[in-house]
Structure 1
Amino acid sequence: MLHIVNGDSFAAKLRKAVPDADILVWRESLYEGPLSVSFTDPKTREARARYFTDLGVPAGQFEHFTSEQEQKLEGFRAYSQIVLWFEYDLYDQAMMIYLLQWFARHNLEKVRLLLICIDSFPGIEPFRGLGSLTPQQILTLMGTWEEVTGEQLELAVRAWNVYAGDNPAELFEFIRGDTAALPFLKRALECHLKRLPSLHNGLSAVLESALIGIRDGIDSPAALFLKISDQWLDYGLGDVQFWRELNDAARCEKPLIVRRGGALPGFGNDNTGASVKEIRLSLTPFGETVLAGKVDQVAVNGICTWFGGLFLSGKGPVWRWNQELGTAVYKK
């Protein structure tokens, strides 16, 4: 039996619970960076390698991890059963639909494909994910997985095509349809659309929430991260991703915030050490103006960001999220 899991933290605990478990850790975040429907084509792989190298991932490490996981995946017929372990948030749901659609395109032959995907666990509130469980708690989940159905595979293929595609309108139409076969997919993809710059002020939902927190007196990055990650549990937001949001907000053409104490750390750095504890955050006058909806962040500072397979750049027009109508629109 092969266990495909969502990160090193959970993998370590699963190994403690089941010492002889054969585990493939899926390390590649599909929440960020360039994507395409084909995904493993040379152009996309090269673009993703450049993206993560620019973020501080050591040169060659990205290629090593991705090559290793793809080779392990290609050898899936060596196993009679494969269990996918995932949770409810966007970070995991993006991985899950990629893997399900990958298996949908391959002849499983006699391999049984199994899935466990949860959004809660008795006695844990809020439930932040599989990595928060103890080995003893993980043991109670063993055998509770269910066989993946044809309906789930077909839904994952359609979900990946719109998530890794470049048209948010098609993604919006997809989530208006029936996604019950993968019960956490709809709300995860709704969160994904809210990552688009808002029609109101050009801020993503997460960045706007962060600026509101700073305005309301949370000047500690660590405290702000805890608040935002709890507020937006369905994102599965990691500290490195959040630090990058704050760093970008501080170093754009007209900064939204001021960091006192230096830049927040990136990949491979100590993200909970003294450097983070010493940093203090505050809004700039421009940040206050944007937050009030009097000026548009994209129109002033521009944008250069991937949202699944959609790349937004320049100062407009771009795809945006209309909170009042709950839909994606293409406007200045």
Structure 2
Amino acid sequence: MTCLHITNGDAAADLIRQAQIDGQIMPWRDVLHEGPVPAGLEIRALRSLRMQFIAAAGWASGDLLAEHLKAFNAVLDAIEAQQFSEIVLWFEHDLYDQLQLIEVLDMLATLFDGPLTLVQTDTFLTSFSATDYPALFDARETVSEAQQALAQQVWQAFRAPTMDPIIECLNCDLSVLPHLYASLLRWCEEFPNPETGLSRTQTVILTQLAEQSSEAGRLFRRYQQQEEARFMGDTVFFWIVQRLVDAGVVAAAPTAAITGETTLSITALGENILNRRCYLQQITPLDTWRGGMYFR
């Protein structure tokens, strides 16, 4: 039997390959902080729903996503058949990774009976070179029962249709997964502000554009500087900007799909929302999912 490595995306997967660490690799390609993650769906059905959302957002082609889903299901079959001698999880400290980590731990709690280990870093896996990876692998730690139980609890709370379970989790001791508390707090900041309807990311975008117009690429780099642990790539960021453009809150020139070179400026409507003179939902439906919660 061989080892299975599950990691946060293709960049880290490539570094594991370059380091020539034995085993099969499965990148966990999902942006769980955006789009629907409702309760009540088993892992295959949830993954299919997530691929539909990613395709609708325009982040990947339908053909590529179908290929990814087929590969995902094949690995899942192998996990259920106990075909791996060990599963090693490679995840970082940011929101993107921490949500993936609790989903994977929740899934493996019922599917895998073998050794489960974790490479957990407090910086980005891509900040290491391939030559560093064997040492990271050797330093991996066995996932404890407490870690897996906490992951299951928080994953269920993340998928709940109300905020009550996640608030309960934030009032618990989350220290066995040391980066989870800060990540959950950051995720909660993406909920619509009760006075404006804006998420923290949307507020940063409008605040910066209220100071001066900007190319989208430069705006993204300025936004990243305000994150304690960067978790969002430019593709998702430009998607968020596009939704503000579609709502008439931001103006884009030219008006085609947002790229790094697109010039952005705040509109009068955007200034009114930013200054709490009106609410985003008065202009356009929020139509936003946060985990299992839907905001109309």
Following superposition, the deviation at residue 283 of structure 1 comes to 0.7
Instruction: State yes or no: 1:184 paired with 2:169.
Output: no
Aligned twin of 2:77: 74
Instruction: State yes or no: 1:280 paired with 2:275.
Output: no
- Aligned residue for 1:80, secondary structure, equals strand
- Aligned residue for 2:116, secondary structure, equals strand
| Aligned with 2:54 (options 52, 55, 58) | 52
Aligned twin of 2:226: 231
Contact 1:163 1:309 in 2 (8 A): yes
Give the letter for the 2:100 counterpart.
Answer: M
| Aligned with 1:261 (options 251, 254, 259) | 254
Cα RMSD of the aligned pairs, angstroms, is 2.0
Runs of 4+ that moved beyond 4 A? 41-46
Aligned twin of 1:26: 28
- Aligned residue for 2:111, secondary structure, equals coil
Give the letter for the 1:90 counterpart.
Answer: L
Aligned twin of 1:247: 242
Aligned twin of 1:106: 111
Distance 1:218 1:282 in 2: 5
Aligned twin of 1:301: 284
Give the letter for the 2:281 counterpart.
Answer: V
- The residue correspondences of 1:197-208 to structure 2 (distance < 5 A) are 197-208=192-203
Distance 2:25 2:76 in 1: 11
Q: Which moved more, 1:301-310 or 1:137-146?
A: 137-146
Q: Which moved more, 1:75-84 or 1:146-155?
A: 75-84
Identity %: 26
Instruction: State yes or no: 1:211 paired with 2:213.
Output: no
Following superposition, the deviation at residue 214 of structure 1 comes to 1.4
Distance 2:125 2:56 in 1: 29
Following superposition, the deviation at residue 241 of structure 1 comes to 0.7
**Closer, same or farther: CA 87–38 of 1 in aligned 2, 3 Å:** farther
Following superposition, the deviation at residue 251 of structure 1 comes to 1.0
Q: Number of aligned pairs?
A: 291
What TM-score does the superposition give when structure 2 sets the normalisation length? 0.91
Distance 2:12 2:152 in 1: 26
- Aligned residue for 2:207, secondary structure, equals helix
- The residue correspondences of 1:90-101 to structure 2 (distance < 5 A) are 90-101=95-106
Normalized per residue, the structure richer in helix is: 2
Aligned twin of 1:328: none
Give the letter for the 1:8 counterpart.
Answer: D
What are the Cα deviations for residues 48-96 of structure 1, in whole angstroms up to 9, with x where unaligned? 3432222223224323312312321331322222110001111111111
**Closer, same or farther: CA 102–86 of 1 in aligned 2, 3 Å:** same
Contact 2:98 2:183 in 1 (8 A): yes
Aligned twin of 2:92: 87
| Aligned with 1:119 (options 117, 122, 132) | 122
- Aligned residue for 1:287, secondary structure, equals helix
Contact 2:251 2:266 in 1 (8 A): yes
- Aligned residue for 2:37, secondary structure, equals coil
- The residue correspondences of 1:307-326 to structure 2 (distance < 5 A) are 307-313=290-296
Following superposition, the deviation at residue 296 of structure 1 comes to 1.1
Following superposition, the deviation at residue 232 of structure 1 comes to 2.1
What are the Cα deviations for residues 270-323 of structure 1, in whole angstroms up to 9, with x where unaligned? xxxxx522x11111011111111121112332210111111111xxxxxxxxxx
Aligned twin of 2:14: 12
Contact 2:213 2:266 in 1 (8 A): no
Distance 1:118 1:225 in 2: 24
Structure 2 unaligned residues grouped into runs of 5+? none
**Closer, same or farther: CA 217–137 of 1 in aligned 2, 3 Å:** farther
Distance 2:192 2:94 in 1: 20
Instruction: State yes or no: 1:173 paired with 2:168.
Output: yes
- Aligned residue for 1:139, secondary structure, equals helix
**Closer, same or farther: CA 43–153 of 1 in aligned 2, 3 Å:** closer
Structure 1 unaligned residues grouped into runs of 5+? 121-128, 266-274, 314-332
Give the letter for the 1:51 counterpart.
Answer: F
Distance 2:111 2:21 in 1: 30
